[in-house]
Amino acid sequence: MITITPNDFLYLGPLGVLTLVGFLLVLAEAFTIGKHRQFLMQLTVAGCVLAMLAAIVTWRQLQPGQTISAFSGMLIADRMSMFLIALFSGTTALVAMLGSAHQSEYGWEVGEFYGLMLLATAGMAMIAMAGDLVTIFIGIETMSLAVYVMTAARRGSRGGSEGAMKYFLMGAFASGFLVYGMALLYGATGSTNLAVIRGVLAGQASSPLTVAAVFLLIVAFGFKVAAIPFHMWAPDAYEGAPTPVTGFMAAAVKTAAFAGMIRVFVFGLGGDVVPFGHIGWSTIFAIMAAITMTVGNIAALRQENVKRMLAYSSIAHAGVLLVGIVTAGIDPAGEGLSAVLFYLLSYSATTVGAFGVMVWIGNRDRERVLISDWYGLGAAKPAAALVMTIFMLSFAGIPPTGGFFAKFILFKSALMAQDGSLLWLVIIGVLNSMISIYYYLKLVMAMYFREATGEFKPLRSGALTFVLVTCGLLVMHMGMMPSRWLGYLGI
């Protein structure tokens, strides 16, 4: 009669910690009044660190390649999911520190912010551990609903509510596609469990119904990762949201969407489901990756607003990550999957750091979001300019930063997949990296070779400094010793 055993709860530790601390924060918000709410941020960080530790402990208990399914296959605990949960928790902790400084400076101390952020992280953990389409759907919705609210959390900001509206409508539209695709997949295979779906689809010519389902899922995930042509919400939502929330969206939410993609496409659907081209659904993703990289980078070239530039740059990075997904799909034995995970790690650290500098540089009177606002930072604040330069180099993929090795490993694994059939995609990717150097260095040039316009009055906050230093060191360390970090993936 009972199908749930105590065993099932054993691997639920990290997810449970995130959820419980999230509940606690929502309660704490309700029972405290006034502006002395620094402890909310501290509680958030403590919860994230605890969840991270739990994920690391669980990670150590699992063998490489071992998968444990819990709750009738609804959740899967393996090393990849634990790695991703640790990554999400770390990102959330750092963003919470940014959020505190930004909130007190710009006067939007919304107490619910932290609780929602942790619950969003719990949704991401669900996606990372998902073994069933239902879990993926619930995880994506938990995360998305919380992030829509966080985008609009700065009350009275017209940009915030407008960005949230566009983000919500496009996100809900994508959810419609997601559910309909899942419904058709359920009809085509008779199950919502990803492992069972894989078993049913393996070794048979795929039915037209499966093809239709996969197309719908591609559209849905295309919206979620902001791949072109489904990207139109991203620049507006990124620009409208408060800067720490933008960092959260660009780093953690994008990573979670890719985790969902890995679960559904790489693990659930195998490589040869869609008879479209010779590499299955990967063909569509390969084309999408090429367009996304190119258009994202070209659009980023002409942006004058740093936030908007980083939004287009994050679209371009989604294109690079899609190359990794294609590689992992057509060559499951290769290094595609670990390349994607390493890229996500380095991209998250860089993104949080870059948005940290953006939070740091502005103040209530002058938010400094345009490139011209960054003129002369190198002379006035050399340390901050150095850190930002590290992040820009990492985004552009220049050694010795983590971004360089992430791109290198990813393109190398793509080259080795299927005897170089992805050569054209790698060439496009490398060309795009060269284009992207131009606009990343534009910001660096602005910092070092222009005269300052007005005195810099950055935010002074210990937490903020900690975030910047941590992210800078992490990015450099990933660039110096990538093999150690690849070892932490353990796949």
Partner 1 sequence: MTSAFYDLTVSHFLILAAALFMIGVAGVLLRRNAIIVMMSIELMLNAANITILAFSRGFAGEHRAAFQGQTFALIVIAIAAAEAAVGLAIVVTVFRSRRHSDIDRLTLLKN
Partner 2 sequence: MNQVVVRWLWVSIAAALVVFFVAAPGLALAAEHSAQAEVSAHTFKNSKAVAFLFWFLAAGTLGGSIFVITRRNMVTAVMGMVATFFAIAGLFLMLYASFLAVMQVLVYAGAIMVLFVFVIMILNRPEDEPWAIHGLLGKGMAAIGLLYLFKRLASILWQVKDTHGLVVEKAQLAADVVLNHADPGVAAGTKELITRSYQFGSVEGVGYTLFSNYLFPFEAVSIVLLVAVVGAIAIARPLHKEAEMADQEAP
Given partner 2, partner 1, none, residue 429, with its beta carbon under 5 to 8 Å by kind, binds: none
State the number of CA atoms in the 13 A half-sphere of 392 facing the CB: 22
Q: Among the candidate windows 203-211, 243-251, 316-324, 462-470, which touches partner 2 by CB under 8 A?
A: 203-211
Shorter beta-carbon distance to partner 2: residue 216 or 422 = 216
Shortest distance, position 175 Cβ to partner 1, whole Å = 7
- Using the rule CB under 8 A, which residue among 235, 260, 353, 429 binds partner 1? 235
Q: Does 229 bind partner 1 (CB under 8 A)?
A: no
Q: Does 13 bind partner 1 (CB under 8 A)?
A: no
Given partner 2, partner 1, none, residue 416, with its beta carbon under 5 to 8 Å by kind, binds: none
Contact (Cβ atoms closer than 8 angstroms) between residue 96 and residue 44? yes
Shorter beta-carbon distance to partner 1: residue 85 or 149 = 149
Shorter beta-carbon distance to partner 2: residue 3 or 483 = 3
- Using the rule CB under 8 A, which residue among 165, 212, 435, 441 binds partner 2? 212
CA-nearest of 270, 262, 456 to 374 is: 456
Convert residues 28-67 into a mask of x (bound to partner 2 by CB under 8 A) and - (unbound).
---------------------------------------x
Q: Per-residue DSSP letters for 150-176?
A: HHT-STT-HHHHHHHHHHHHHHHHHHH
Q: Which residues of 352-373 are buried (b: 16+ CB within 10 A; e: fewer)?
A: bbbbbbbbbbbeeeebbbbbeb
Contact (Cβ atoms closer than 8 angstroms) between residue 120 and residue 150? yes
**Both structure tokens of 191:** 């199950």
CA–CA separation, 473 and 467 (whole Å) = 10
Shortest distance, position 138 Cβ to partner 1, whole Å = 7
Shortest distance, position 69 Cβ to partner 2, whole Å = 5
CA–CA separation, 95 and 331 (whole Å) = 35
Given partner 2, partner 1, none, residue 273, with its beta carbon under 5 to 8 Å by kind, binds: none
CA–CA separation, 160 and 239 (whole Å) = 8
Shortest distance, position 210 Cβ to partner 1, whole Å = 13
**Both structure tokens of 183:** 């419904």
Given partner 2, partner 1, none, residue 4, with its beta carbon under 5 to 8 Å by kind, binds: partner 2
Kindly tell me the burial class for residue 420, based on how many C-beta atoms sit within 10 Å of its own C-beta (0-12, 13-18, 19 or more).
exposed
Residue numbers at the binding site for partner 1 (CB under 8 A): 133-134, 137-138, 141, 145, 148-149, 152, 155-156, 158-159, 161-166, 168-169, 172-173, 175-177, 179-180, 182-184, 186-187, 190-192, 235-236, 239-240, 303, 308
